[in-house]
Chains A and B, each alone.
Chain A
Amino acid sequence: MSDVRRAERATQARRTSATGPVVPAPTLQAVRAPRGWRKRGGGGRRGTEARVAPYLFVSPFFLIFAVFGLFPLLYTAWVSMHDWSLLSGNEGFVGLGNYQDLATDSQFWRALVNTMGIFVIATIPQLVLATLLAQALNHGLRARTFWRMSVLVPNVTSVAAVGIIFSLIFARDFGIVNWALDSVGIGAIDWQAHRWSSWLAISVMVDWRWTGYNALILLAALQSVPKELYEAARIDGASAWRQFWSITVPMLRPTLVFVTIVATIGGVQLFTEPLLFGSGVNAIAGGTTGQYQTVAMYLVQEAFTGQRFGYAATIAWVLFLLIGVVSAVNLLLLRRIRSAD
């Protein structure tokens, strides 16, 4: 732990210096390189070894990623331009035909609306709660590790377990949520039956699993804000609210961007929670009228139930684009926050 904390401090120290943490300063390299060359210059074999070794060291990562990461990604685009089925393979080039079909596919649009709806309902409260929780954890607390662990426990629970446990908690006839609602006179809700209620239940699952995790990441960012900034603001008579908006939020902005983009990548691919929220062999349909079928579920349904690989690849490629667009929109929105101050 002390090692980790030391590493944390070292990174922070480097962050405050002028150069970025990723790319080392080029001038420094230029000065150092000749010194290294001269030292290696002695034996020919040793020189070759030192020149080849770095590539050998990074090659396992790049080789494996090329085969099982990059190739499937690019090949998705190729498959999406074909009629391609699970059983009979490639049945011919159709160009952008699959994309045209997708544009007028009402089931796809419904799944897209579901995915974005759940994403918005889940992410906005999650970020607000995580920021508040991070603020709360940033005090001189007793039993600090205990509190941090307690908010992270949900994230250790698997997505499948979360889906299964919460579908019982939200069960119509015997679930604890409906029992509680009934007791206070609101009346039971058939959570799976309606669009809004199924979205809400699924959002609760997502937020339960991720709020504490994001709070810890925001906490790390809060701790790297120089205390002098707050002291100076206090001397100038800034209120706590003013300090929060003028110091905390702008300083948290890069981390908020990071957290939001990670949430976007996860949210657009949402699959397991809604799958296990439903039940029976047709759970992939996301409810009787597809009221909570996400795009990722529709993709899997097309690929494996419908055996249409080409069309499924088209959906996957559109999802990539969607992640790019939503991330860009997030960046723009969060940039607004800073310019507001």
Chain B
Amino acid sequence: MRRAPVTLYVALALTALLSIAPLYFMLVMASRTTSEILSVPPPLVPGGELFDNIERVFANEDVIFGQALLNSLIVAGVTTVSVVVCSSLAGFAFAKLRFRGRNALLLVVVGTMMIPVQLGLVPLYMLMNKLGLNGQLSSVILPFLVTGFGVFMMRQYASQAIPDELIEAARLDGASTWRIFRSIVFPVLRPAAAVLGLLTFMERWNDFLWPYLALDAEHPTVQVALSRLSGGYYTDQALVMAGTLMGTLPLVVVFIIFGRQIIGGIMEGGLKA
């Protein structure tokens, strides 16, 4: 690795500035009144209305924003736990157990990663109607309980992290496959499971198209609530920006705490594909 020249730091600083700028404007606008936002020249530094605006977001009766935050937490939380558990189980089986049809099934898993599942939204809508789940949170949880990406990621990690001898020794001691998974395999998989969990949580928290179509006014996620806030004839820009800030903040906090792990997961995911 060559040492970096100063010009490189300048270029990177400019890139970082461009990355942060729109979020900074969100903060500026969320802390102003709507008339200030609509004035020319536009405000460039934060004002003092932030907490008033946030209070108005939560008091707004059309979008039940507090409920929407909670709903997003439920949807993202449940799908994350399910994806991590199902992916660990299947990933372990594909990496360490021998069974007929293993390679063919693994190819199917890889294939599902290339298929844009959300384009099946018409039959999915009909299916949820049949199940009586349209509008409910479960209609946006069920389709995302498993992902091919998760299975593949855990399979790759398991195949290099778990020595075959460890499993064979446990088998000789009479342990069942489930026992081996619980006591030996899952503890080893934990770092990868954590990264998969973070990536899944962020993706589900941010998901828009299917929740926008499937959820009714009583059960919005945060992203759906935001689109309703901003979609009216008359738009209260300060209110919308304060809501957008509140919907973005939880993930930014998660990202600041777990940034290294998330970056590691993304870089690894790219290498493996």
Assuming the contacts A160-B223, A300-B213, asked whether A148 and B268 have C-beta atoms less than 8 A apart, the reply is: no
Flag the segment in B18-26, B50-58, B59-67 that touches A. B18-26
Asked whether A165 lies within 8 Å of B270 as measured between CB atoms, the reply is no
Q: Mark the stretch among A6-14, A101-109, A112-120, A192-200 that contacts chain B.
A: A6-14
Q: Is A40 an interface residue (CB 8 A)?
A: yes
| B4, B148, B168: most-surrounded residue (chain A CB, <10 A) | B4
- The residue from B124, B213, B226, B267 contacting A72, defined by CB atoms under 8 A apart: B124
**Complex Cα distance A232/B147, Å?**
42
Contact B271 A57 (CB under 8 A): no
B251 at the interface (CB under 8 A from A): yes
A217 to B269, CA, bound (A): 8
Check if A152 sits within 8 Å of B8, measured CB to CB: no
With the chains together, A21 CA to B156 CA distance in Å? 8
Is A62 an interface residue, CB under 8 A from the partner?
A: yes
Residues of A within 8 A of B9 (CB): 141
Is A303 in contact with B121, judged by CB distance below 8 angstroms? yes
> Which range contains the number of B residues in contact with the other chain?
35 or more
Is A189 in contact with chain B by the CB < 8 A criterion? no
Given contacts A21-B272, A58-B105, A69-B143, contact A174 B38 (CB under 8 A): yes
Q: Does B132 contact A (CB under 8 A)?
A: no
Give the docked Cα–Cα distance between A86 and B86 (Å): 34
Query: Are A60 and B227 within 8 A (Cβ)?
Result: no
B58 to chain A, nearest CB (A): 18
- From residue A332, how far is it (CB to closest CB) to chain B in Å? 17
Could you tell me if A319 and B119 are in contact, using CB atoms closer than 8 angstroms?
yes
Interface members, chain B 184-202 (any A CB < 8 Å): 191-192, 195, 202
Sort chain A's interface into a size bin. 35 or more
Closest to A37 in B: B98
Which residue of B25, B99, B120 contacts A51 across the interface (Cβ within 8 Å)?
Answer: B99
* Residues from chain A with Cβ under 8 Å of B260 in the complex: 1, 145
Q: Are A29 and B25 in contact (CB under 8 A)?
A: no
Please give, as numbers and ranges, the residues of chain B lying within 8 Å of A10 by CB-CB distance: 160
* Chain A window 11-39, contacts with chain B (Cβ cutoff 8 Å), 1 for yes, 0 for no: 11011000001110000010011001001
Asked if residues B233 and A174 are in contact (CB atoms below 8 Å), the reply is no
Residues of B within 8 A of A259 (CB): 270
> CA separation between A179 and B260, bound complex, in Å?
37
Determine the chain A residues whose CB is within 8 A of the CB of B119 once the complex forms: 73, 76, 269, 316, 319-320
Question: Residue A220 contacts which of B108, B230, B271 (CB distance < 8 angstroms)?
Answer: B271
Alpha-carbon distance A275/B237, docked complex (angstroms): 17
User: In the complex, which of the residues A4, A139, A281 contacts B261, with contact meaning CB atoms closer than 8 Å?
Assistant: A4
Q: Are B120 and A217 in contact (CB under 8 A)?
A: no
Residues 170-184 of chain A, each 1 if its beta carbon lies under 8 Å from chain B, else 0: 000111100100000
Given contacts A76-B119, A208-B22, A279-B231, contact A168 B241 (CB under 8 A): yes
Residues A150 and B126 in contact, CB atoms below 8 Å apart? no
* A-side contacts of B232, CB under 8 Å: 280-281
Interface members, chain A 25-75 (any B CB < 8 Å): 29, 32-33, 36, 39-40, 46, 49-51, 53-55, 57-58, 60-62, 64-65, 67-69, 71-73, 75
Interface bits A128-163 vs B (CB < 8 Å: 1, else 0): 000001001111111001011111111011111110
Indicate if B106 sits at the interface (CB-CB under 8 A): yes
Contacts of A319 in B (CB 8 A): 116, 119
Q: Which residues of A contact B172 (CB under 8 A)?
A: 39
Asked if A36 contacts B122 (CB within 8 A), the reply is no
Cα of A20 to Cα of B43 in the assembled complex, Å:
56
A278 CA to B267 CA in the complex, in Å? 34
Does B142 count as interface, using CB distance less than 8 angstroms? yes
Given that A133-B15, A159-B206, A174-B38 are known contacts, is A11 also in contact with B99, CB under 8 Å in the complex? no
Q: Which residue of A lies closest to B256 (CB)?
A: A149
The smallest C-beta distance from A208 to any residue of chain B, in angstroms, reads 7
- Per-residue interface assignment for chain B, residues 50 to 90, with 1 indicating a CB less than 8 Å from any chain A CB and 0 otherwise: 00000000000000000000000000000000000111011
The answer to whether A57 and B123 have CB atoms under 8 Å apart is no
B123–A151 touching, CB < 8 Å? no
Chain B residues contacting A36 (CB-CB under 8 Å) are 98, 168
CB distance from B179 to the nearest CB of A (A): 10
Known contacts A49-B176, A62-B105, A65-B148; A164/B271 CB under 8 A: no
Q: Which 9 A-B pairs have the closest CB atoms?
A: A72-B120, A217-B270, A4-B264, A53-B177, A150-B16, A220-B267, A158-B206, A57-B93, A3-B191
- 10 additional A-B pairs beyond A150-B20, A217-B270, beta carbons within 8 Å, are A14-B160, A23-B106, A136-B8, A140-B3, A153-B252, A160-B247, A179-B41, A220-B267, A265-B116, A312-B122
Chain B residues at the A interface, C-beta cutoff of 8 Å: 1-4, 8-9, 11-12, 15-16, 18-20, 22-23, 25-26, 29, 37-42, 85-87, 89-90, 92-94, 97-99, 102-103, 105-106, 108-110, 112, 114-127, 142-143, 145-146, 148, 151, 156-157, 160-161, 168, 171-172, 174, 176-178, 181, 191-192, 195, 202, 205-206, 208-209, 212-213, 223, 226-227, 230-233, 235, 237, 240-241, 244, 247-248, 251-252, 255-256, 259-273
